[in-house]
Every structure is written in structure tokens, then in C-alpha cells.
Amino acid sequence: MALLTPERANLLLLSPEHEGHCSLEENYSTEDLPEERAQRWARDFDLNPDLHLPAENKFIATDFTLKPSDCPDTEVPVRIVNNERGCLWFKKDNKFKIPKAYVRFNLISPMIQKSPENLVLFDIFVNILAHNQAEPAYEADVAQLEYKLIAGEHGLVIRVKGFNHKLPLLLNLMVDRLADFTAEPGVFTMFAEQLKKTYFNILIKPERLGKDVRLLILEHCRWSVIQKYQAIMKGLTVDDLMTFVSGLKAQLYTEGLVQGNFTSTESIEFLQYFINKLQFKHLSVEVPVLFRAVPQKPHLCKVKSLNKGDANSEVTVYYQA
């Protein structure tokens, strides 16, 4: 510490504005620190309040205690909650015995599959929600906690994992951001433009188009990527998004899975936090995922590639048992 003095300071200034100021062939120059500045730094002066150490990272785990089990051990997750608003599957880790956990919740809504427009708005919503989450959740990433938001076929999937001590903080943060969701017009436009490119790239690739056609044949009430692309090209607004999100959060069914170093009581509290924070009503109808039974004889479906400049073909052979 005795060597950290003003006269021993070494300042490096990097800027394109310094181009042409170098006297040597190398792209740098050196000069002594002005005496006046060194003397000023050597005296007592008011510190800049903006220059300080970062605040303590609240997501860094400090408790690595293995929690005692409060329910019978099982080989697979068991359902410990089942009501009209949701269900919860739980498994205590008694095999690996590490202070980590995995938490996954699927927020199921019939709003998502009502129209191609709703599917597009859902994709935009998940992208913006992840964007809004990035800055406040940065410290969690530094603390080796992982999180992910996934736009599922019928619901929003929220997934967190890592050291269990501060994992509830991260999960609560994600639920809070969902409850208080906002979308800036500029951010909405940015992600809408990105999705246009994403849908277009899917359509011009034979293997991606082939998968979409196969699922259209098999799944009941499925919208194609072409329909989603047409919907987004018609033009959607921030107001459309906020109306959709309000409807999405109004009626939900929450299915959760908790595995690892948590008790069943703590796991139930996670589900209850979703219910209390989002204040959603139970679904008036179920959201079943229905698959069609293909007639037991060979069928052939041929679709021309949408990319006339691509000579590649895709062949999918599907067997249904």
C-alpha cells in the first residue's frame, strides 16, 4: 500500500482522438504527469462519491448446509400439490448431496395458441422479458446461478438452477419482472424486426420447414411458421402486446418441478409466490396437447422449398407406434 502514491501513478488513455499525436512509428506516446496534478493529488481533497467499490452481490451463496428431508425419499419426483391453479412435483436430493437445486415452472395459458398473432406476440413478450431481466439478474450470473426463459408451445417456462441458498432470490426476481412487465416502443420494434428475420430464416431452410410441416400434420390446433410470418408482417403494436400480456397473466395454470437441496415446504412456497404475485385466476378450460393418430398406411406429403435458390432437399420418415 505504501507504493500506491500519486507520483507512482501510471495512467493509460486509449482513444481514437489521439491519432496523429504520436511522435514515433508505434501507435503510442508517453509523457510525464503534470506536476500541478501530482501535487493536487498529494493533498487532501474530497473524494468522488461515484468512485466506490461495488455493492455486495446479494446472490452469492454463503450457506452450503445440506437440508434435512421433511418427506419420504423417492426415486422419482412426486406430486405434492395439485389444485385448480397448479401442481408441484418435488424430489429431495439424497444421492449426490450437494448444496444445489433445479427449479422449473411452466405457466400454461390458452391465450398463446388462439391465433398466429398471439403466438408472435408471445415470442416478442418472452424476448423482451429476458431483455428486461438481463441487467438486474447480472449479479446472479456472476454468482454462478443460471436462469432461462423459454417460449413453450403452450406456456412460459421459467428455469433456474445453481447453489440453493440464494436461488429463491433469483426466482422471485423473475416472477416480479413478469408481474411488472413493461415494454418500451424501441425495444418492441427491435425484437419484432429480429423475429421477422428468424421466421424468414426458418422458412427458407428445408430441414426447418420439414419439421414444421410434420408437426402441422400431427398436432391438433397448431399454427405454421408461414402464418406467424404473415401475422408479424401485417404489423403489430406495443398496445397489442400489452393487451395480450394482460390476458395471458389473467388466467394461468402453473406446473412446477423442484429438485435438489430444498425441502418440500420451501418448494410449496415457490408455487405460492407465483400465485400471490401474479394474482391469476384458474383456467376455465384445460389446455390439452392433442396429437393426431395417423391412418395405418403409407402417406406422402411433398412441399416445395420456399427458397428457389437452394437446391437442397429434406426427407423426413416418420413412424407412429
Question: In CATH, what number is assigned to the domain containing residue 273?
Answer: 3.30.830.10
Task: Kindly state the percentage of the chain with pLDDT values over 70.
Answer: 97
Checking if the pLDDT of 125 tops 90, the result is: yes
Query: Cα angle vertex 77, ends 69, 99, to 5°?
Result: 45
User: What span, in angstroms and rounded, lies between the C-alpha atoms of 131 and 126?
Assistant: 9
Residue 48 in domain: no
Domain count, the chain: 1
User: How much is the pTM?
Assistant: 0.84
For the ranges 123-132, 211-220, 229-238, which has the lowest average pLDDT?
A: 211-220
Residue 73 in domain: no
Residue 314 in domain: no
Measured from the Cβ of residue 148, the count of other Cβ atoms closer than 10 Å reads 12
Cα 140 to Cα 101, 133, 259, distances in angstroms: 15, 11, 19
| Cα pseudo-dihedral 36, 38, 39, 41, rounded to 10 | 120
User: What span, in angstroms and rounded, lies between the C-alpha atoms of 60 and 108?
Assistant: 31
Q: Regarding predicted confidence, which is higher, 313 or 119?
A: 119
Average pLDDT over residues 142-149: 97
Name the pLDDT band for 37 (thresholds 50, 70, 90).
confident
User: What span, in angstroms and rounded, lies between the C-alpha atoms of 212 and 116?
Assistant: 14
Residue 114 in domain: yes
Residue 91 in domain: yes
Checking if the pLDDT of 234 tops 70, the result is: yes
> Which 3 state secondary structure label does DSSP give 224?
coil
pLDDT of residue 213: 92
Cα 151 to Cα 100, 104, 159, distances in angstroms: 25, 13, 12
Which residues make Cβ contacts (< 8 Å) with residue 141, sequence separation at least 6?
147
Checking if the pLDDT of 95 tops 70, the result is: yes
Q: What is the mean pLDDT of the chain?
A: 92
Name the pLDDT band for 8 (thresholds 50, 70, 90).
confident
Checking if the pLDDT of 21 tops 80, the result is: no
Task: Kindly state the percentage of the chain with pLDDT values over 90.
Answer: 69
Print the domain residue range for 148.
Answer: 78-188+238-278
Residue 57 in domain: no
pLDDT of residue 263: 97
Residue 300 in domain: no
pLDDT of residue 38: 80
Order of all β-strands in the sheet with 86-92: 78-83, 86-92, 253-260, 100-108, 155-163, 146-151
| Contact between 199 and 232 (Cβ < 8 Å) | yes
pLDDT of residue 26: 67
User: What span, in angstroms and rounded, lies between the C-alpha atoms of 77 and 88?
Assistant: 9
Q: Regarding predicted confidence, which is higher, 292 or 199?
A: 199
Phi-psi region of 245 (alpha: psi -120 to 50; beta: other; left: phi over 0): alpha
Per DSSP, the residues of 129-176 read HHHHHHTTTHHHHHTT-EEEEEE-SSEEEEEEEEEGGGHHHHHHHHHH
| Contact between 90 and 114 (Cβ < 8 Å) | no
Average pLDDT over residues 257-284: 97
CA 150 to chain centre: 6
User: What span, in angstroms and rounded, lies between the C-alpha atoms of 224 and 300?
Assistant: 19
Checking if the pLDDT of 88 tops 80, the result is: yes
Residue 67 in domain: no
pLDDT of residue 54: 85
pLDDT of residue 29: 76
Q: CA nearest 254: which of 91, 102, 87, 90?
A: 87
